[in-house]
Every structure is written in structure tokens, then in C-alpha cells.
Amino acid sequence: MKELLSEDEIQAGVERLAGRLRADFEDRPLTIVGVLTGSLILLADLIRRLDNPLRVALIRASRGRAENRSRTALVIDDTLLPNLAGRDVLVVDDIFDTGHTLVEVVAQLAKHGPKSIRSAVLLRKTGRSDVAIEPDYIVFDIPDEFVVGYGLDYVDRFRNLPYVAALEPTDLTKD
């Protein structure tokens, strides 16, 4: 694998994101909703840098694989959410690829009646989006490669790396 973003680069990017959020939300209460599981490390690093009154929540958005290896429909579990009515909500996710997950998560959160919904992602793959929206906050743009580390995994491996790396084709197995 090849390193794309070092630990220091990521931490500086998270600090830039926190600065933008502090400026945009000032001292208003904020509900941050992390998309499980990839956003957990970003979520933890981000909330430690914010001074706002914070409510932290989690939502699970996952796709399985059918026997023919095609992706199945997105399943969203929002049972861990607190009351979002009238709240400013920030969705935090690890990566914006095609954008379908973010679109569906935002639509699900909108059903809970928040005052506003914004989104932040650590990574946006260039040239992959096929939806009409973009995240409100993007920490890094990356090339269209399979990436791991800093919360992103491949077959339950590499999520714990403190940096982001692109897997080489030889690193990918059929498992």
C-alpha cells in the first residue's frame, strides 16, 4: 500500500475543519451524527476540537453484497439517534464516493425535523460522484483509489492505521 495522507496531514485537516465549524456555528448547540463505522476516528478527533455545546449521535448505514457480488440496497438504522427536532445537525462520514450514502442518510435525518443539516467528510474521491449534492465540508480530495486507514477498512483490516493509504491491486483479495 502507498501512503496518501500522513497522520500529521490528517490532524491538520481535522483542525481546519474544526475551525470552519467553530466559525460557522459559533456557540450554537450542535448535534453531530457520525455514520458508523468509518467515521468514528474522525468523529472523536473532531469533537475534541470543538467548544460548542455538543450532542453526539450515531447512525448506521450499510450495504451488503449479494451472491453475485453486486451491492445491495442501503440499510439505515437510526435507532441510536436522539431527538433532532429543531436542532442544527452535522453528519460526519469518512468518505464521499458516489454520494448515494450521504443522500440517503440526509433524507433519513430530515424526517426527524432538524433545523438544519450539513455534512462533513474526511475524504472525497475525485470523479466518482453521481448525485446532485456535495458535502458542505470536505477535508481532503483524493484520487479514485481504494483507501484504508483512519477509520476506513478492507475486510476488517487497516481501520486502526493513523494515516490514509491506497491499497495496491495486489493487496486486494477476493475475500
The sign of the CA dihedral 89, 90, 95, 100 is positive
State the DSSP string of 98-151. Answer: SSHHHHHHHHHHHTT--SEEEEEEEEEETT---SS---SEEEEEE-SS-EEBTT
d(CA 125, CA 143): 6
Give strand pairing partners of 88. 116
Q: Is 97 a catalytic residue?
A: yes
Q: What angle do CA 149, 155, 157 make, to 5 degrees?
A: 40
Catalytic residue among 97, 136, 141, 156: 97
Tally DSSP H helices, then E strands, for the chain: 3, 9
Active site residues: 97
